[in-house]
Amino acid sequence: MLANVPARCRHRLRDPLRSALRAAATAGNSRRAQSRANAYDRWVDWCTANGVGPGLEEFDDPVVFILGFMQLYREGTLAPSGRRVCARTPEDAIRFVGQTLELMGKRDFRLVPGTDSVDARITNCLKTWSCEDPAPKRVKPIPVQVLHAAQRIASANGSLAMCASARLMWTGFFFLGRPGEYCAARSGNKYFRLSDVQLLNHGHNLDLWST
């Protein structure tokens, strides 16, 4: 970065520029800044091992080299854990590298030159990996024991309304929030719409708007 500063100003601007760049890299989140630094260090090691500069200036089409890095990261060869990782991990890593290069006054090579759009080959690759990944393990909105208790109360009461309410609670818990994780949805996670819902009474469809 100092190379872009006139020689007569470098000594005077060295410390202020270092502080400003540190603030820009941290952006209020020191932990994320450390993750960015670690990702960039792994990128530099990978580039050095292959005899190329981290800015990939020698490439007419740097995306090919980037995709190789992402694939090895995905497989675990370059990932810190040494194990296969989800799509989000190489996505974060290569974004951190691009952002670091921008802070250094260089081009974020993920982007199509002259635009803010990530190269389609990168986004398509990440989309494919995301579809291959298993559903994330999320914290449930309520303990499942609550549903079991509600079911027991409804069954003991025998009321049609209470039994229907209990069943709707189970449906909402497992299916309405993220059906792509529990149903055979081809396009991944998507929400149910009202038009996807049917209410049946002895085999007859009920009108949702008047029921």
- Span 107-117, pLDDT tens digits: 899 999 889 89
Angle made by CA atoms 124, 177, 129, in degrees to the nearest 5: 20
Label residue 105 exposed, middle or buried (CB < 10 Å: 0-12, 13-18, 19+). Answer: exposed
Average pLDDT value for residue range 167-181: 72
d(CA 67, CA 122): 7
Q: Per-residue pLDDT for 80 more than 70?
A: yes
pLDDT (tens digit per residue) in 140-173:
667 888 889 999 999 999 999 999 999 888 877 7
pTM listed for this prediction: 0.56
Q: Write down the pLDDT at residue 125.
A: 95
Among 16-30, 126-140, 146-160, the minimum mean pLDDT is found in 16-30
Percentage of residues in the chain having pLDDT higher than 90: 39
| pLDDT reading at 45 higher than 80 | yes
